[in-house]
Amino acid sequence: MRDEGIGSWPARRARSSPERTAIVHGERSFTYAELHERVNRLAAALRRLGVRRGDRVAYLGANHPALLETLFAAGTLGAVFVPLNTRLAVPELAYMLDDSGARVLVYGAERAEEATALARRPDPRTLVTVGGSAPAGHEAYEELIASAPVDPVDEPVGLDDTCMIMYTSGTTGRPKGAELTHGNITWNCVNVLIDVDVTADEVTLVSAPLFHTAALNMTCLPTLLKGGRVVVEPGFDPERALALFATERISWMFGVPAMFDALTAHPGWADADLSSLRVLMAGGAPVSESTIAAYQERGLTFLQGYGMTETAPGVLMLGAADSVRKAGTAGRPSLFTDVRIVRPDLTDADPGEPGEIVVRGPNVMRGYWGRPDDTARAHTADGWFRTGDVATGDPEGFVTIVDRAKDMIISGGENIYPAEVESVLHDHPDVLECAVIGVPDERWGEVGRAVVVPRPGTAPTEKDLLAHVEGRLARYKIPKSVVFTDALPRNATGKLRKADLRRDHGTP
C-alpha cells in the first residue's frame, strides 16, 4: 500500500478488523469492510469528476457518514478536504470556497438552498447532493458510489501532504484556513490514543459538529483509527443523547461546556443510565466548577483539554488520574507536543505568572492557506506557534487557561481576565450562562460588565449577583454592572462571540 495518509485508514482497518462496526447513523450501520468499499467507490467517482492530487473537495452538511467518506476518499486521491461551517451565510461560504479553490462541493440535502445559491457563482464547480433527489446539474451521491468501480486507487500519499483545510472560527475578521497535513492529523490522533487510553471497544457519540476540529480530530478519527465504533448524530439534542447513552452503550463523548450543562438541566438527567460512560471530554471553553461538580456527583469526571484548529487540535490534556485532583486545569502537554508559557519578550514565565501559550510539535499546522504573512506572524523566529491565549502553569506542569489575550480587560492598569470572573458568577444558582466584557469608563479606562442568562424560573438582580462575587475576587475584578439577556451569542462550535457581546452590550 503506497498510501501512508489517513485516506488509507479504512483499507487498513478492513484488513485487520473487517467485521467490526465502524459507523452507526440512525438505523444504518457500516462495518469497516463496508466503509472501505464505499470509500474506494467514492474516490473513483471523484476522480471521474476530475479531482486530482492537490485539488480541494468541500463538504457542507450536518454530521453524516458521507462527511467521513468524503474525507477519506479525498485523502485516498491526495486531494484536500475542506469542511464548511453549516451556520454560515452564503457569502461567507462563498468566501471559503473561493479562498480554498474547491472544485467539488458535496452537500447534505438539507443545505440545498445554500448549494443552489453557491452554484450560481461564476466559478465552475461540481455539486454533489447527499440524500434526496439531486437538482438538475447536480450529482447524486449514492448514485455516484453505486456506479463507480470498487478497485482501490492506491495513490502515493505521504504524511507531509496536505490533508485538510479547516477554517478558524472567525469570531473576529475573515476566517483563515489552517492547512493540516496527514502527519498533523495522525500525530494528533496518536496523542489522543495515549492521553485517553482509547480502546478497540470504544463507542463514541459524535454529536458536536464534525466541521469542528475537536469532534472530528479529537474523538471521531481516533476512534476509527483504533477500530472502535462512532455513533454519528446530525446534531446535539440532550434528550436524544441521554437515550443513546443507554441504547448504544456510549463510552466516550466530547462536548463544549454548554452541551454538558444542557444535559444536567434536562428533566431526564436524574434517572439517566450513565453506566457505560467512561470518558467525558470537554473543550472549547473553561468548564465551571459547578458543572464539574454536577458530573462528579454521578461518579463521572471530565477530561478537560485545550487546543485549537491550528494544532489539529490537541495541545493539553487533563488525564483521568488527575481529573479530580486538578479539576479546572487544562492538564499537561500531550506526549508528542511541546508547550511553553512565555512573557511578551518570549522568555519563560514563572509558575503562577500569566503568559502566552506557545506550541511546537508534529501536530502544528503547516500554515494558513495562501497567507504566508499571517503564517509568519503566528510563529516565533525559532518555530513556536503563538496561540494568543493566556495561561498560568503550576510547579507540577499543569496549565490553567486564563483567557484570550484579546479579551483581557485593563482597568486602572490592572489586568482582568473575564474567564476568572465568569467562573465565580456561574456558581450562583440562578445563573445559567454568563460572559464578562469590558466597557469604557472615564475614571478607570475600562471596567467589567457581566452579561447574564438567568436559569428558567429565576429572576436574579444585579445586586444579588454582585453580592455573590463580593469577597471572592479582588475588588477591581468585580463587574461594575450586570445586564440580563435571553441567550449568549455563540458560533457553531459553541464558542462565545464576544465581538457580538461588545456590540450589543458594550456601550457605557
The torsion angles phi and psi of 106, rounded to 5 degrees, stand at -95, 130
SS3 content of the chain, % helix, strand, coil (to 5): 35, 25, 40
177 forms bridges with which residues in the sheet? 167
Q: Mean pLDDT throughout 374-399?
A: 95
Q: What angle do CA 22, 321, 421 make, to 5 degrees?
A: 100
Q: Mean pLDDT throughout 30-51?
A: 98
Binned at pLDDT 50, 70 and 90, residue 171 comes out as very low
Query: How many residues are given for the chain?
Result: 508
* Model confidence at 186: pLDDT above 90: yes
Residue-wise pLDDT tens digits, 258-276: 899 999 999 999 999 999 9
Q: Is 396 exposed, middle or buried (0-12, 13-18, 19+ CB in 10 A)?
A: exposed
Second-level CATH architecture of 184-405: 3-Layer(aba) Sandwich (3.40)
Write out the DSSP string of 43-93: HHHHHHTT--TT-EEEEESSS-HHHHHHHHHHHHHT-EEEEE-TTS-HHHH
Residue range(s) in the chain whose domain bears CATH number 3.30.300.30: 408-505
Topology given in CATH for the domain delimited by 408-505 = GMP Synthetase; Chain A, domain 3 (3.30.300)
Sheet architecture: strand order including 355-360: 338-342, 355-360, 385-393, 399-404
Contacts of 399 (CB under 8 A, 6+ apart): 306, 316, 329, 330, 331, 332, 333, 339, 341, 357, 391, 392, 393
Residue range(s) in the chain whose domain bears CATH number 3.40.50.12780: 6-158, 184-405
* Model confidence at 295: pLDDT above 80: yes
* Model confidence at 80: pLDDT above 70: yes
Residue-wise pLDDT tens digits, 172-181: 457 899 999 9
Residue-wise pLDDT tens digits, 216-244: 999 999 999 999 999 999 999 999 999 99
Residue-wise pLDDT tens digits, 94-104: 999 999 999 99
Q: Mean pLDDT throughout 90-111?
A: 93
* Model confidence at 327: pLDDT above 90: no
When mean pLDDT is compared across 98-102, 120-124, 355-359, 489-493, the lowest value belongs to 120-124
Maximum pairwise Cα distance, the chain: 72
Residue-wise pLDDT tens digits, 422-438: 989 999 999 999 999 99
Pick the CATH number of 6-158 from 3.40.50.2300, 3.40.50.12780, 3.40.50.300, 3.10.129.10: 3.40.50.12780
Q: Mean pLDDT throughout 128-139?
A: 92
When mean pLDDT is compared across 103-107, 166-170, 283-287, the lowest value belongs to 283-287
Share of the chain above pLDDT 70, in %: 97
